Structure 1
Amino acid sequence: MSNVVIVGSGPAGVSAALYTARAGIDTTVLSRGSGALARAEGIQNYYGFAEAIPGAELERQGIEGAKAVGVKFVETEAVGLTFTDKLTVETLAGDYSADAVILATGVSRAAPPLPGLKNLEGHGVSYCATCDAFFYRGRDVAVLGSGEYALHEVTALLPVAKSVTLLTGGAPLTAQFPLEVAVRTEKIEAILGEDAVTGVQLAGGEVVPVAGVFVALGVAGSTALARKMGAEVDGNRIVVGPDMMTSIPGLYAAGDCTGGLLQVAKAVYEGAMAGSEAAKALRKGGFYGG
């Protein structure tokens, strides 16, 4: 039986799960728990409710409906996305391989406005240690972050880099890092370099000289996971086609992470489209001759 892994249990992810599960596809939803919808005091502009419904209740009902048709939910944090013979979502609870993956974790509202970050993407600024660690063998690198996602990137870099410095930007550590990792807690002022990264400037003016900066702030949202696969992104938005598939066969995205209207109705539509299109493709034999 074909299987689908959906990252995110909000309206987009759960809607996608309803369509894949009802199509007879083994469906697993990976989630860190309640998302943006649960924090909404009341939803008044959504079809079917005469009175405002608390966001947490709407989320609960959606998840219960998906469980009723056989969707499995696993509470864990996704930290990576790779491809060998199948797409694989790497999480704190282990790896989940799938014939298709749907990214639906919403969008980060707090991308760091660091001077130099955008201009040096692909020239020393990376979003995937597993992909790019090889290019920094024997060189000094830094990881921006403070949690499990950052630890995942650090672990991939330590065997090949000369040194790894963790830059928390002032955020508290929420994971235990190896002793050989230097931890700097100062706020970050800029990524330095003209044609390639040469260092990171900290608050107070001190410069940490590095050849590479790996961004792993907060948790790995949909756009960060898409970047790891080399899927096309536009700023903080994942680029998708009319069928909600990214530039990577078998990898779909739905909801806030695709940009546009940040509303439940839009997320539900895109989730339904992603789920139904993924199911249709898998019934025809999949994406890689499987």
Structure 2
Amino acid sequence: MSEQARDAIVIGSGPAGYTAAIYLARAGYRPLVIAGAVTPGGQLVNTTEVENYPGFPEGVMGPDLMDRMREQAERFGAEVKYDDVTQVNLAGPIKTVTTDGGESYQAKTVVITTGSDYRKLEVPGEREFGGRGVSYCATCDGFFFKDKPIVVVGGGDSAMGDADFLSRFGSSVTLIHRRDGFRASKIMVDRAKANSKINFILNSVVTRINGGPQGVESLDLQDTVTGQTRSLEANGVFIAIGHTPQTTFLNGALDLDEEGYIVAEGDSTRTSLPGVFAAGDAVDKIYRQAISAAGMGCRAALDAQDYLTSQSSSDNPTD
């Protein structure tokens, strides 16, 4: 085994990556965290106040929470590099990870925590009002729109569930879908239709999100059948059109499901290759919460530690 090989590399950051790094570092493995070049810290760096993360009764800003996790990992010996992984060779006892900057690193174990990205509408105003009325997480931000008109964009189970959840807070909830039928399951559609606070606008797409210094004020809509346009008042816009797991860099190195999520073995974080583990939203397409990602990062670190311990008895471990 190469003397230059590290014990562990964590690809990605966010709650899963930094938690995995904390556990691995405290165990003495001094992991290298390749945190990403553009948005180290994951989706929370684009989130304003986080009120549902345990231990912060007054709430905490998303970027601050990620900074504190990173500092905690570094305190115990983790090394953080801000670059993107572009190529991996994960087979065999020594894994190789290559970054966009041209650096290659070797390790006995790799923990992948690259997360997923919200699918965007890609319309004017969406980026401008991100965190100021535009949200991709109903459970994170619904409370901020108490007694205000809310819009949910989407037609799947997530959109139906978000609309039902947000009806607890908003003065009204309008669900906008580009077709006249839904991808959502019948039980979710029936539940939404039975909710008197939820209205539906079908065969329509959002073409612009409008607002001012205080945030979102209205949406421009276009009918996909007639082409007619209209304006709709809204202060909260929740986009629920799906997620894209950040796994393309793997280029077939691991088993993925049909949607591109990493397949884990049973209830573990083990992937299809020995010594490679995965946690967070690159695996989890159900919960997608910071706290569940952090918990999974802990599990991945413990699985990696168990693997390292089992391999330490041999100088030349095999698959």
TM range, smaller chain: 0.5 to 0.7
Deviation, structure 1 residue 11: 0.5
Equivalent of 1:225 in 232, 249, 255:
249
Identify the residue that residue 91 of structure 1 maps to in structure 2: 99
Deviation, structure 1 residue 75: 0.8
Q: Aligned with 2:98: secondary structure?
A: strand
Q: Aligned with 1:108: secondary structure?
A: strand
Equivalent of 1:51 in 58, 75, 78:
58
Identify the residue that residue 252 of structure 1 maps to in structure 2: 277
1:227 touches 1:233 (CA, 8 Å); kept in 2? no
Deviation, structure 1 residue 108: 3.1
Identify the residue that residue 106 of structure 1 maps to in structure 2: 115
Matched, 1:24 2:24: no
Corresponding letter in the other structure for 2:14: G
Identify the residue that residue 13 of structure 2 maps to in structure 1: 9
The residue correspondences of 1:156-235 to structure 2 (distance < 5 A) are 222-235=246-259
Q: Distance in 2 between matches of 1:34 and 1:84?
A: 27
Corresponding letter in the other structure for 1:68: R
CA RMSD of aligned residues (A): 2.5
TM-score (structure 1 length as normaliser): 0.58
**Cα deviation digits, residues 175-232 of structure 1 (max 9, x gap):** xxxxxxxxxxxxxxxxxxxxxxxxxxxxxxxxxxxxxxxxxxxxx9642234431423
The residue correspondences of 1:237-248 to structure 2 (distance < 5 A) are 237-241=261-265, 242-248=267-273
* Structure 2 segments unaligned to the other structure (5+ residues): 121-243
Corresponding letter in the other structure for 1:92: D
Corresponding letter in the other structure for 1:59: M
2:24 touches 2:301 (CA, 8 Å); kept in 1? yes
**Cα deviation digits, residues 52-91 of structure 1 (max 9, x gap):** 1100110011100111000000111111111465211110
**Cα deviation digits, residues 93-135 of structure 1 (max 9, x gap):** 3111111111101113349xxxxxxxxxxxxxxxxxxxxxxxx
Question: Which of these two proteins has the greater Rg computed from alpha carbons?
Answer: 2
Moved more, 224-233 or 71-80: 224-233
1:41 touches 1:54 (CA, 8 Å); kept in 2? yes
Distance 1:233 1:90, change over 3 A: farther
1:239 touches 1:247 (CA, 8 Å); kept in 2? yes
Identify the residue that residue 69 of structure 2 maps to in structure 1: 62
Q: Distance in 2 between matches of 1:261 and 1:227?
A: 25
Q: Distance in 1 between matches of 2:46 and 2:69?
A: 15
Q: Distance in 2 between matches of 1:83 and 1:247?
A: 10
Corresponding letter in the other structure for 1:71: A
Identify the residue that residue 75 of structure 1 maps to in structure 2: 82
Identify the residue that residue 298 of structure 2 maps to in structure 1: 272
Q: Distance in 2 between matches of 1:109 and 1:284?
A: 38
Corresponding letter in the other structure for 2:33: V
**Cα deviation digits, residues 233-257 of structure 1 (max 9, x gap):** 3413211122201111111110011
Distance 1:28 1:221, change over 3 A: farther
1:226 touches 1:238 (CA, 8 Å); kept in 2? no
Q: Aligned with 2:86: secondary structure?
A: strand
Identify the residue that residue 284 of structure 1 maps to in structure 2: 310
Q: Aligned with 1:90: secondary structure?
A: strand
Distance 1:47 1:227, change over 3 A: same
Distance 1:243 1:251, change over 3 A: same
1:81 touches 1:228 (CA, 8 Å); kept in 2? no
2:277 touches 2:303 (CA, 8 Å); kept in 1? no
Q: Aligned with 2:49: secondary structure?
A: coil
Distance 1:227 1:233, change over 3 A: farther
Q: Distance in 1 between matches of 2:269 and 2:8?
A: 15
Corresponding letter in the other structure for 2:277: Y
Q: Distance in 2 between matches of 1:84 and 1:236?
A: 19
Corresponding letter in the other structure for 1:274: A
Q: Distance in 1 between matches of 2:114 and 2:296?
A: 13
* Structure 1 segments unaligned to the other structure (5+ residues): 112-219
TM-score (structure 2 length as normaliser): 0.53
Q: Distance in 1 between matches of 2:291 and 2:22?
A: 15
Identity %: 28
1:232 touches 1:246 (CA, 8 Å); kept in 2? no
Identify the residue that residue 116 of structure 1 maps to in structure 2: none
